[in-house]
Amino acid sequence: MKKPIQKNWWFWLIVVIIVAGIFGNKDEENSKKDEVASTEVSIPTESKSETIVTEKSVAKTQEVNVQKKM
């Protein structure tokens, strides 16, 4: 009579290799996500709303100066 498959040494070797491959791949995916997140955060961008607010305040200041001179 043959032994059940779970009592063979090579069966457990295959199980360990598969499990190690699964967990090893998850660590690699997490590090890639961290790299992408740090890259996205570290790139400073100027928003359009800040530029518009600055331009409007400069224009209002100039208008006030012109009205005071009159």
Contact in structure between 14 and 8 (CB atoms under 8 Å): no
Report phi then psi at 8, rounded to 5.
-90, 140
pLDDT value of residue 34: 65
Residue 21 lies inside a defined structural domain of this protein = yes
Residues 56, 48: Cα–Cα separation, whole Å: 12
Q: Is the pLDDT of residue 9 over 70?
A: yes
| Model pLDDT for residues 30-62, shown as the tens digit of each residue | 666 666 666 655 555 555 555 565 666 666 666
Predicted TM-score (pTM) of the model is 0.39
Query: Per residue in 17-31, pLDDT tens?
Result: 999 999 888 766 666
* Token pair for 37: 């997140």
Domain membership of residue 61 as a residue range: 7-69
Number of domains in the chain: 1
Is 1 part of any domain? Answer: no
